Amino acid sequence: MLNDPLAKLSDKQIEVLVASNRELLESQNFANSISVKQLEALNKSDQFSESEKGAIKSNRFKVIDTALAPGGAGASSVSDNIKALSDKELEMINPGHLTNPDFVSQMRGPQFEAIAKSDKFTSSQKKTLRDVRKESLLQALDASSPSYAPTPANIRDALQKISKMGGKDFVELMRQNITLAPGTTPIPLLTHPAVLPILKPNMLKKMAVEMNDADITTLRNNLLAALPTTHKTVIWLNNPTTGGSEFA
């Protein structure tokens, strides 16, 4: 296989190989056979023009780009490819994808965290990504969302993604005001009846670090009022040695 000998080449050897065989820049097979580290080396090399670097990156991500192009099958058809993107690949992929709700809806929590920590993205890009991510999650829960689509599948998918968010991102999202039905008074997502049951003890512990006392009290009271006494989160909250002291 092509990638077996390629894997043994150093970054410099890859540069020399491609510099003397520039047709490789146009090869999708080659672009997908080299490692992320080797691709990064080519992207940083001064031996290639920006156009040439763009060519090999385009070939590397062609499957995703094609799915997201007008008339393409959409991000869900390449969900595994998107979720498999490494931190460095996210820095090299078409930045326009990070403003595309379809692409963003398929990203994993750790990928969002990597972008937030990366110095390769501007503050504006990071904010746009957070906003797009928020919208992609709220379209199933917020009746005021322009793309409101509260199907059971969408709600289930949104709740699953929300439950996997980090503490800080989760708390930020929970403070977002949403409406349960068109024309109704906005309420914090934190009190949404579909959200409360997914708040497990481990998640609440992470959230507590990012929440103030007032937020904790509000959420605690809502959980105790909305969930049955047999729910494991309620049992945890009522135990003075666990949630009774850790989330009070």
Could you write out the DSSP letters of every residue in 2-19? THHHHHTS-HHHHHHHHH
Residues in the chain: 248
Closest residue by Cα to residue 137 from 122, 124, 150: 150
The Cα 8–Cα 12 span in angstroms is 12
Instruction: Tell me which amino acid residue 220 is.
Output: R
For 69, the 3-state DSSP assignment is coil
Q: 198 in the Ramachandran plot: left (φ > 0), alpha (ψ -120 to 50) or beta?
A: alpha
Q: pLDDT band at 3, cuts 50/70/90?
A: low
> What's the token pair of residue 98?
């990070």
Is the Cβ–Cβ distance between 124 and 163 less than 8 Å?
A: no
- Contact (CB, 8 A) for 208 and 235: no
**What is the average pLDDT across 59-64?**
98
Distance CA 154, CA 143 (A): 13
12 pLDDT exceeds 80? yes
Give per-residue pLDDT as tens, 73-126: 999 999 999 999 999 999 999 999 999 999 998 999 899 989 999 999 999 999
Tell me the Cα Rg of the chain: 23
Beta carbons of 85 and 75 less than 8 angstroms apart: no
Which has the closest alpha carbon to 18: 62, 81, 33, 4? 33
pLDDT tens digits, residue range 124-180? 999 999 889 988 888 899 999 888 888 888 888 888 888 877 777 788 888 889 999
pLDDT the model gives residue 1 = 43
DSSP-derived 3-state class of residue 177 = strand
Q: How many CB atoms lie within 10 A of CB 208?
A: 19
Name the DSSP letter for residue 188: E
Instruction: Specify the pLDDT at position 203.
Output: 86
Q: What percent of the chain has pLDDT over 70?
A: 98
DSSP state of 186: P
Q: pTM for the whole thing?
A: 0.77
> From start to end of the chain, where are the E strands?
177-178, 187-188
pLDDT tens-digit profile of 168-219? Answer: 778 888 888 999 998 899 998 888 888 899 889 988 988 888 888 988 998 9
